[in-house]
Structure 1
Amino acid sequence: MTKKITIAIDGFSSTGKSTVAKQLAKELGYVYVDTGAMYRAVTLYALRKNYISENNLDRDALVKELSLIKLKFIFNPEVGFGEMYLNGENVEKEIRQMEVSEYVSKIAAIPEVREMLVAQQQQMGKEKGIVMDGRDIGTVVFPDAELKIFMTASAEERAQRRFKELSERGEEVTYKEVLRNVQERDHLDTTREDSPLVKASDAKEIDNSHLALTGQFEKILELYNAAISN
């Protein structure tokens, strides 16, 4: 029987982490966890409560209510992955909107939010056989993961992908707005005091600026095969 391992996929926003993590989990029969969806759901909660806006962040009010925020992934066979539920409501589509993207890095920088979600993520991965993607999986959540991947691409390429995705969903955004959002999130993610986005020393870096999805997936499968043979 093939041993099960923990696979941590980190990287910048819009590098396709979730896409490849879902592919990998399906191929291996592993559990897939999108930690970004968890932070987005908390951000959506804060937006609905008016705890965050362009010029305001009521951190204390949000922190006081963290125990009221119940997050759960429920598998949807039609899409092939677990969708995010916030307090019993399916918010998978809503958390992907540009408004949530604008504020998620600020919410993710709050230490109490990270502490709560990291504890949940570590609990999910206790049995191994898991593919988890995010910003600090290989450095904080699973520092002992058998396979760590760090994904990157140019800001311009990532903004183009995100702009296409949002436009196809019917959101009225400009490429310039999306590029600014990508650059701002990069800055916030890499400079925050608590668990900044950094490449783990033992992570394998994949720059997919000019790499086709098929080639990328084959490369990651090779890394997986090497990891389980050690």
Structure 2
Amino acid sequence: MTGSRRLIIAVDGPAAAGKGTLAKALAERLALPYLDTGLLYRAVARRVLDHGEDPVLQGEQHAKAIEPADLERDDLRVPEVDRAASLVARQPAVREALLERQRSVGRVHGAVVDGRDIGTVVFPDADLKLFITASPEVRAQRRYRQRHGEDCQDAELLAQEVAAIVARDEQDASREVSPLKPADNAVQILTDHMDAESVLDRVLTLLQERRA
């Protein structure tokens, strides 16, 4: 494994599995750059929707034109963008347009990168590949609390979140280009009964073992 200045850690997994929380914590602990590639696709989707275009068909030009300000918007994590991001991500031209942007982040100083095809496509030679997952029900509960608050008790809203998670999983896993799947040599971690600190501790221990 390389030194920490060029360490590449790929963190893949489905929506609301905890990969973003883990990746940000790892990046901070290891003093590495962090990239949320899902945010790139959300920003592309937001641009497509703002222009009144079809996320199934349009996307390439928006992927090429994306700017830092597009990533800082506060309306990227809403249901309509969830759905549109999964659709634009199915377009080969969009993925190709964003690929070099993703790779450039870790080329010099290393990085912790999270997404759905990091270990399989973006950084197939990553030093450590992780696949973070959880059951659809647990992930839906996390997304539900994130969007509606800890005190919200609405069974219908929760059922909608479960349905949306399942639909997103099916879309991501069935796309022809860069489908969601664990890399062959990825360490898979099921987070149903783990909090964020426990997941981080497990990965840090794994890193220590590999370096030793």
* TM-score, structure 2 as length reference: 0.90
When the two structures are aligned, how many residues end up with a matched partner? 208
Supply the distance in 1 between the matched residues of 2:56 and 2:30 (Cα, whole angstroms). Answer: 42
Write out per-residue CA displacement over residues 134-160 of structure 1, whole angstroms, 9 at most, x where no aligned residue: 000000000000000001100000001
Alpha-carbon distance, 1:101 to partner: 0.9
Alpha-carbon distance, 1:97 to partner: 1.4
8 Å CA contact 1:38–1:71 kept in 2: the answer is no
Alpha-carbon distance, 1:222 to partner: 1.1
- Establish whether residue 40 from structure 1 lines up as the match of residue 36 from structure 2: no
Supply the distance in 2 between the matched residues of 1:187 and 1:40 (Cα, whole angstroms). Answer: 18
Supply the distance in 2 between the matched residues of 1:205 and 1:128 (Cα, whole angstroms). Answer: 25
Write out per-residue CA displacement over residues 192-216 of structure 1, whole angstroms, 9 at most, x where no aligned residue: 0000011001110000011122211
Counting only pairs closer than 5 Å after superposition, residues 1-230 of structure 1 correspond to structure 2 as 2-4=3-5, 5-52=7-54, 57=55, 59=57, 61-67=58-64, 69-72=65-68, 85-86=69-70, 90-91=72-73, 93-168=74-149, 174-229=157-212
Write out per-residue CA displacement over residues 69-95 of structure 1, whole angstroms, 9 at most, x where no aligned residue: 2233xxxxxxxxxxxx21xx731x210
Alpha-carbon distance, 1:58 to partner: 5.9
Q: Cα distance 1:65–1:14, how it changes in 2: closer, same or farther (>3 A)?
A: closer
Q: Cα distance 1:167–1:117, how it changes in 2: closer, same or farther (>3 A)?
A: same
The equivalent residue for 1:81 is none
List alignment gaps of at least 5 residues for structure 1.
73-84
Residue identity opposite 2:34 in structure 1: Y
Residue identity opposite 1:188 in structure 2: Q
Extract structure 1 runs of 4+ deviating beyond 6 A: none
Alpha-carbon distance, 1:2 to partner: 4.7
Residue identity opposite 1:62 in structure 2: G
Supply the distance in 2 between the matched residues of 1:155 and 1:33 (Cα, whole angstroms). Answer: 24
SS at match of 1:150: strand
Supply the distance in 1 between the matched residues of 2:192 and 2:136 (Cα, whole angstroms). Answer: 9
Residue identity opposite 1:131 in structure 2: V
SS at match of 2:59: helix
SS at match of 1:199: coil
> Identity of paired residues, percent?
36
* TM-score, structure 1 as length reference: 0.84
Larger helix fraction of residues: 2
Residue identity opposite 1:159 in structure 2: A
8 Å CA contact 1:10–1:136 kept in 2: the answer is yes
Larger strand fraction of residues: 1
SS at match of 2:130: strand
SS at match of 1:174: helix
List alignment gaps of at least 5 residues for structure 2.
none
The equivalent residue for 1:82 is none
Alpha-carbon distance, 1:100 to partner: 0.7
